[in-house]
């Protein structure tokens, strides 16, 4: 599925803190953001964290043995640099069902993230759906920023708890099937630690509600290819939970519920 390999050659693998090229400023910004959150979490090795670039269709993941957090290219984008045409769209916007519109955003990503081999043709159905999900996240750009911070804090929490290698992160719904069952508790611990560190739960709840809405949509949408059709009805319940969530991962509903219940101290800015 990961047919996009040379997506960002200067950044592949480990980033040493001084990346070169047009994405350098973006990498540095995310790197500084990660370090700031890790320090706030009181993670002892916060200064030694590194970031690495993962493939286009990947999701952020943490490797505690190497102290690296891997992020996909779309994670580098700040909503302020994305044209307004692609932002503020409600989940039911006809544009999100319009393949030419989605293609135009894929070409925009190609140009602006230097993803030379990213084209609409290079993406499988579910990779393309990740692009659609990203556009849905941009409905409220300020809350999307909070959701992104939540995801980063969640990954840092995996390092903090020394959870080992998150081979498949919980944001990658297809890959979840292969994750070990102990990650169910790890995910919950990381979610809660993230919310407590940031003193903020709006981002996490927004994220999981967007996931739910999109999975529900996928469950009900007829897919063109037979295998995708089988996968989408198999993976997502009509409520929008990932079907396998109950065995290996907390479901989106569970995650929204326990995040909502976290008691936060009074927030000082």
Contact residues for Zn ion (CB under 5 A)?
A: 170
Strands (E), the chain: 13-15, 50-53, 61-63, 68-71
Q: How far is the CB of 194 from Zn ion (least distance, A)?
A: 9
Q: Which residue is nearest to Zn ion (CB)?
A: 170
Residue count of the chain = 269
Q: How far apart are CA 70 and CA 37, in angstroms?
A: 16
Q: Is 52 helix (H, G, I), strand (E, B) or coil?
A: strand
Q: How far is the CB of 60 from Zn ion (least distance, A)?
A: 8
Q: How far is the CB of 253 from Zn ion (least distance, A)?
A: 17
Question: Between residues 132 and 194, which has the closer beta carbon with respect to Zn ion?
Answer: 194
Q: Is 128 helix (H, G, I), strand (E, B) or coil?
A: helix
Buried b (16+ CB within 10 A) or exposed e, 51-79: bbbbbbbbbbbbbbeeebbbbbbbbbbeb
Indicate left, alpha or beta for 19 from its phi (over 0: left) and psi (-120 to 50: alpha): beta
Question: Between residues 109 and 190, which has the closer beta carbon with respect to Zn ion?
Answer: 190
Question: Between residues 113 and 194, which has the closer beta carbon with respect to Zn ion?
Answer: 194
Q: How far is CA 221 from the centre of its chain?
A: 22
Q: How far is the CB of 61 from Zn ion (least distance, A)?
A: 7
- Beta strands 68-71 and 50-53 are parallel
Question: Between residues 89 and 177, which has the closer beta carbon with respect to Zn ion?
Answer: 177
Q: How far apart are CA 36 and CA 43, in angstroms?
A: 10
Q: How far is the CB of 126 from Zn ion (least distance, A)?
A: 19
Q: How far is the CB of 188 from Zn ion (least distance, A)?
A: 10
Question: Between residues 170 and 237, which has the closer beta carbon with respect to Zn ion?
Answer: 170
Q: How far is the CB of 157 from Zn ion (least distance, A)?
A: 8
Q: How far apart are CA 79 and CA 29, in angstroms?
A: 13
Q: How far apart are CA 235 and CA 245, in angstroms?
A: 9
């Amino acid at each position: 599925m990961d047919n996009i390999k040379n997506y960002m050659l200067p950044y592949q693998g480990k980033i040493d803190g001084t990346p070169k090229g047009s994405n350098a400023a973006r990498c540095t910004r995310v790197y500084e953001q990660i370090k700031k959150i890790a320090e706030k979490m009181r993670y002892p090795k916060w200064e030694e964290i590194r970031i690495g670039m993962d493939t286009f269709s990947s999701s952020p993941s943490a490797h505690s043995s190497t102290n690296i957090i891997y992020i996909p290219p779309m994670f580098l984008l700040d909503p302020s640099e994305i044209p307004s045409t692609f932002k503020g769209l409600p989940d039911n916007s006809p544009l999100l069902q319009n393949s030419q519109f989605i293609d135009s955003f894929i070409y925009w990503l190609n140009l602006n993230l230097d993803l030379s081999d990213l084209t609409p043709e290079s993406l499988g159905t579910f990779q393309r759906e990740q692009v659609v999900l990203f556009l849905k996240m941009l409905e409220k750009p300020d809350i999307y920023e909070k959701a992104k911070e939540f995801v980063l804090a969640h990954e840092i929490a995996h390092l903090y708890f020394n959870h080992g290698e998150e081979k498949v992160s919980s944001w990658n719904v297809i890959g979840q099937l292969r994750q070990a069952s102990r990650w169910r508790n790890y995910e919950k611990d990381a979610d809660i630690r993230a919310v407590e560190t940031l003193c903020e739960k709006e981002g996490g709840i927004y994220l999981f509600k967007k996931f739910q809405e999109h999975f529900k949509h996928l469950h009900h949408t007829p897919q063109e290819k037979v295998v995708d059709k089988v996968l989408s009805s198999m993976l997502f319940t009509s409520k929008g939970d990932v079907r396998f969530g109950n065995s290996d991962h907390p479901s989106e509903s569970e995650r929204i519920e326990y995040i909502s219940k976290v008691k936060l101290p009074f927030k000082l800015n």
